[in-house]
Amino acid sequence: MWGFYIEQLMHSLPFFLKGLWMTIAVSGISLVVGTLLGFLWGIIRSSQNRTLKALVGAWVDIIRGTPFLVQVFIIFFILPEFGIQLEAFPAAVIALTNLAACFICEIVVAGIQAVPWGQREAAISTGLNWYQQLRNVIMPQAMRVILPPLVGQYVLLIKDSSVVSAIGVVDVTRVGWLTVQRVPQGLLVFGLVALLYFIICYPLIQLSNSLEKRMSSGYTRGKV
């Protein structure tokens, strides 16, 4: 009996791969744009401008404090009332990009804070301007602290992208949901969906772990 269902699943495998492609597209675009925005927010949050800092801080807090599903619904259902009619795909990308930016912002802030204050003072007294300080002194050292959790955050965001299936984006989770209506074997169907996510996320988790090991060992060597 299981053989029959597995055969049926094999028939809809192209459908699953299409869904996987959609998952990769949504999370890929959001991660790239979200990383850029997240670094921008993070640098603003570590700057001296009080108003901008407070604004970004409040926004980041609100996004970090509410479920992603609620954010997706708000963007999908409320923006049309402002006259911005969005398809499911752009709505999903906007929601996930925003989420990515807000979580990456915190990682960047922590990384910049980990650079000793003396480094900045030395950079100032060497006569470097703000951009040069950031580009040549602060960020290269901060990246060592930022990189491992950043990759870990990517994994969380790729997994969060499954939530956008709720507004009808046909990603791999949605494909599973549609398939289970025809092939009533939830364990098989969602086992396959889980396997597809596993193939993407597991190597990234390992990468994050090995980065953490490498970066921290480099740090102690520098200190001693």
For residue 195, give the nearest of 182, 170, 176 by alpha carbon.
Answer: 176
- Minimum separation from the CB atom of position 123 to other proteins (A): 29
Q: Which is nearer to other proteins, 144 or 174 (CB)?
A: 174
- Minimum separation from the CB atom of position 161 to other proteins (A): 8
Q: Which is nearer to other proteins, 56 or 193 (CB)?
A: 193
- Minimum separation from the CB atom of position 137 to other proteins (A): 28
Q: Which is nearer to other proteins, 133 or 190 (CB)?
A: 190
**Which two tokens mark 43?**
């640098």
CA angle 203, 204, 208 (to 5 degrees): 120
Cα of first residue to Cα of last residue in the chain, in angstroms, is 64
Q: Which is nearer to other proteins, 89 or 197 (CB)?
A: 197
- Minimum separation from the CB atom of position 71 to other proteins (A): 8
Cα separation, 147 vs 178, in Å, equals: 37
Q: What letters, b where the CB count within 10 A reaches 16 and e where it falls short, cover 96-127? A: bbbbbbbbbbbbbbebbeebeeeebeebeeee
Please report, as ranges, the residues that interact with other proteins according to CB under 8 A.
62, 64-71, 73-74, 77-78, 81-82, 155, 159-163, 165-166, 173, 176-177, 180, 184-187, 189-191, 193-194, 197-198, 201-202, 205
